[in-house]
Amino acid sequence: RRDEQGSVTVFVVSITAALLLVAGLVFDGGRMIAARREADAVAGAAARAGVQGLDEAGLRQTDGAPILAPDAIGRVQRYLASTGFTGTATVTGDTISVEVHRTQELSILSLAGLHSSSITGTGSARAVRAVRGGP
């Protein structure tokens, strides 16, 4: 019949669009999950790098492990420069907290108008004194 002509074409186009959207969710969604995991790992590693900026004079004067804030933040920034992430570091007592950011480009979902997503990760490390005087 002539009034049903082209109905299969509409069905095929709509199914193809739906399959592309699902493929985009799977592919780009998986990449975003991996990027978030990587962001947390980079933030933790940056915090560990920063916590190595110990105040040597403070180590001799106290029982704790004080962090020299400017040195620690510089270590974090140098570490982040090699990773492709940007971020900030905060020193509070013997703990350093790092928050990192990066933009994740989307491949398949860009066809639907979603071109990128912001990825954030956090990590922290605490300086500890491993050697104590006396048995």
Q: Summarize pLDDT for 74-117 with one digit per residue, the tens.
A: 999 999 999 989 999 999 888 899 999 999 888 888 777 888 89
pLDDT for res 6: 65
> What letter does residue 4 receive in the DSSP assignment?
G
CB atoms within 10 A of CB 43: 27
Residue 45 CA to residue 61 CA, distance in Å, equals: 28
The predicted model scores a pTM of: 0.76
Separation of first and last alpha carbons in the chain: 96
* Amino acid at residue number 94: D
Q: Summarize pLDDT for 88-100 with one digit per residue, the tens.
A: 999 988 889 999 9
Residue 31 CA to residue 106 CA, distance in Å, equals: 8
Residue 12 CA to residue 47 CA, distance in Å, equals: 52
